[in-house]
Amino acid sequence: IRSDTDTAKRATEKKIPILGKNKAWGSDLMDVTHPAWLSFVVDDIAAKAIERGFDGFFLDTLDSAALLAEGNAEKAAKCQTALIQLISALRSRFPSARIVLNRGFELLDQVSTSVNGVLIESIYQTFDAKTGRHHPVSSDGSAWLEAKVRKVQSLGLPVYAVDYVLPTDLRLANKTAAKLSALGCVPFITTPALDGTLIAPLR
């Protein structure tokens, strides 16, 4: 959650603790195991989104919960349970809403019947925010993610794949989109700005 938002202010009012920061995104990490967290997300954030006309939820950076555990296995298990309970609660409260996860691989066996798909970034091509450069993902990294793609597909869920390529490199963009399609994914080749720019397979 961003500390400068109204949502953050409401979380503070409900006394939900901030336990850390996701430095990559400059956001605060709320304690997902706190008793008030689940109802805050479902009844406050999600319900307001539906009221505004959104038809579902994209649960981004689910891996951030692991940052809260800091190597504590018991805390990690509690965080995972909290996320599973959240997804179950969203499905129960909003049965017609679409729910798409960003990764969350460790949750899939427990929530596969409650979600509508999984998004996976940077399977073959990525962007390094530290260096400001685009580059290929290592062969080991791609192989690891390909295995995750097959796992998601084995559960009957679609995989939405987002890779990052320079807008001027149409050859690489099209090649990457074709490779992702061959893997059985729905490809979206874009820029790290994530502003909706589509480079391939359409432009």
Q: What is the pLDDT of residues 163-189, one digit of tens each?
A: 999 999 999 999 999 999 999 999 999
Distant-in-sequence contacts of 141-147, Cβ < 8 A, 24+ apart: 145/120, 146/183
Q: What is the pLDDT of residues 117-154, one digit of tens each?
A: 999 999 999 999 889 999 999 999 999 999 999 999 99
Residue in the block written with tokens 């400059």: 26
Dist CA 30 CA 58 (whole Å): 18
Q: What is the pLDDT of residues 28-67, one digit of tens each?
A: 888 899 999 999 999 999 999 999 999 999 999 787 777 7
